[in-house]
Chain A
Amino acid sequence: MSKIVANGIRMHYQRMPPKNRPGTFSTMCDPGADPPVVVFVHGLAIDSLASFYLTLAPPVAAAGIDAIAYDLRGHGHSEKPSHGYRVGDFVADLDGLLDALGVHQPVHLVGNSFGGTVAFGYAAAHPDRVASVVSIEAEPPTEPWAERMRVMMAAVVEDLAEEGVFTRIAEKFGAHHARLAAAGLDRLKSATMIEDIPTGPLLDRDGLSAIRCPVLSILGSAGFQQDDLGALERALPNCRTEVLAGQHHSVLVESHRTVRDLLLRWVGEHAQSGAGVR
């Protein structure tokens, strides 16, 4: 298991080196130029780097891209401090991770759900280090987002406190989902995530306009942003939206092949000249 200390936290990461098959990004790069780098940022509570490692990372590496996935603090096999779960802490971890891994070229951040929020926070704070953001069912850390997170996390904790709830989940969705729900609840409650996450720091209108890099927002038509699928595109200076019909919030795992194709096309369009596709 690969671990590295970043921002004072012991982080679990997986790096899949780019394949050098003919026709891939690495072989199309100028000699001496580094291939594009994609960094995957997973979602909250029940999520881990596995969501990307077992779906998008292998085909991305096979396409000649340097693929990095890591467990957020408090998740997977990364260290789980008892406090320190503001969006800013996750942003600082990502910055520390890129330094620790020696990644100095602008990267393509691919964030799922809360991972996308971290990616937006990072793009606002470190615009020079981000080539683009691919946001999957995600939105930037703003006051309306924070309020929704407060409500949603409180509802999850309340719902899962009901007697016999995990038995009912097991009967309806299977034992696997019941275990995931129980583990996710433990994770949320064992540290200060519920209190910390909505505190940001949050971006106002000026903060959003600081996210100047190209953004691809992939949404399920029945996902968390179904009430206004165009909101993000209007709020950001350089955002394109792809809506996957009939999909819900779990679009990454439900439609990973479609997301993969969108991502590979996107990186191809936005490969930095310095990271040089001819």
Chain B
Amino acid sequence: MTDETATVVEVPVLDVVSGIVREILGEYDVDDVEITMDTTFHEDLQLESIDLVVLAGRLQEHYGDPVNLAEFLADKELDEVIALTVGELVRFVASRG
């Protein structure tokens, strides 16, 4: 755990990502969880890969075509996708914004 902090640019992105993730988690009746830059999608939030597809769609709706999560993840190995953190995703979105 690195206790990563979001930069000024990344804070609003973290807010949007957290909101979308909570909407998706809502479908699973999961108790309220803290979402930080260090939170992992699979281990901490227990999201499945199909949830990442939904997340990708919502991010693209919000930020437009340059934020293509599928392209971002297609470059990664399976282990990296499973270990994906909210922080990695936030940095990716911020870099495209």
Real binding pair: yes
* A interface with B by C-beta (< 8 Å): 1-2, 14, 16, 48-51, 53-59, 62, 71, 76-77, 174-176, 179-180, 183, 253-254, 256
Q: Which 7 A-B pairs have the closest CB atoms?
A: A50-B49, A58-B74, A48-B50, A58-B71, A50-B50, A54-B73, A58-B70
**A65: min CB distance to chain B, Å:** 14
Q: Which residues of chain A are within 8 angstroms of B46 by Cβ–Cβ distance?
A: 175, 179
Contact with A along B42-71 (1 / 0, CB 8 A): 110010111011101100000000001011
CB of B91 to closest CB in A, whole Å: 18
Q: Of A51, A58, A175, A180, which contacts B43 at CB under 8 A? A: A175
Residue contact A50 to B74, C-beta cutoff 8 Å? no
Q: Does B8 interact with chain A (Cβ within 8 Å)?
A: no
Contacts A77-B54, A175-B43 given; indicate if A55 touches B48 (C-beta within 8 A).
no
Interface residue tally of chain B, by bracket?
10 to 19
Instruction: Tell me, in angstroms, the Cα distance from A2 to B68 when the chains sit together.
Output: 16
Whether the Cβ atoms of A51 and B49 lie closer than 8 Å is yes
Q: Which A residue sits closest to B42, measured CB to CB?
A: A176
Give complex CA distance A1, B84 in Å: 22
Chain A residues with CB under 8 A of B89: none
What are 11 contact pairs spanning A and B, CB under 8 A? A1-B57, A48-B49, A50-B49, A50-B52, A54-B49, A57-B70, A58-B68, A76-B53, A176-B82, A179-B48, A256-B78
Q: Is the CB of B54 within 8 A of A1?
A: yes
Asked if B48 contacts A180 (CB within 8 A), the reply is: yes
> What total count of A-B pairs have CB within 8 Å?
57
Q: What residue in chain B is nearest A175 (Cβ atoms)?
A: B43
Contact indicator per residue, chain B 27-45, by CB within 8 Å of chain A (1) or not (0): 0000000000000001100
Q: Which of B71-97 contact A (CB under 8 A)?
A: 71, 73-74, 78, 81-82
Distance between B82 CB and nearest chain A CB, rounded to angstroms: 6
CA distance in complex: A256, B53 (Å)? 17
Since A48-B50, A54-B53, A175-B46 are in contact, a sample of 14 more A-B pairs with Cβ atoms closer than 8 Å, ordered by chain A residue number, is: A14-B57, A48-B48, A48-B49, A50-B49, A51-B49, A53-B53, A54-B52, A54-B74, A58-B68, A58-B70, A59-B74, A71-B50, A76-B53, A256-B74
The distance from the CB of B72 to the nearest CB of chain A, in whole angstroms, is 9
**Closest residue of chain A to B40, judged by CB?**
A176
What residues of chain A lie closer than 8 Å to B74, measured between beta carbons?
Answer: 54-59, 256
Alpha-carbon distance A50/B78, docked complex (angstroms): 12
Residues of chain B contacted by A49 (CB below 8 angstroms) = 50, 53
CB distance from A192 to the nearest CB of B (A): 22
Min CB–CB distance A96 → chain B (angstroms): 21
CB–CB A50/B53 < 8 A: yes
Contact (A14, B53) CB under 8 Å given A50-B48, A175-B43: yes
Contacts of A76 in B (CB 8 A): 50, 53
Residues of A within 8 Å of B56, CB to CB, are 53
Contact between chains at B48 and A253 (CB < 8 Å): no
Closest chain B CB from A257 CB (angstroms): 9
B85 to nearest A CB, angstroms? 14
A48 and B68 alpha carbons, distance in the complex (Å): 19
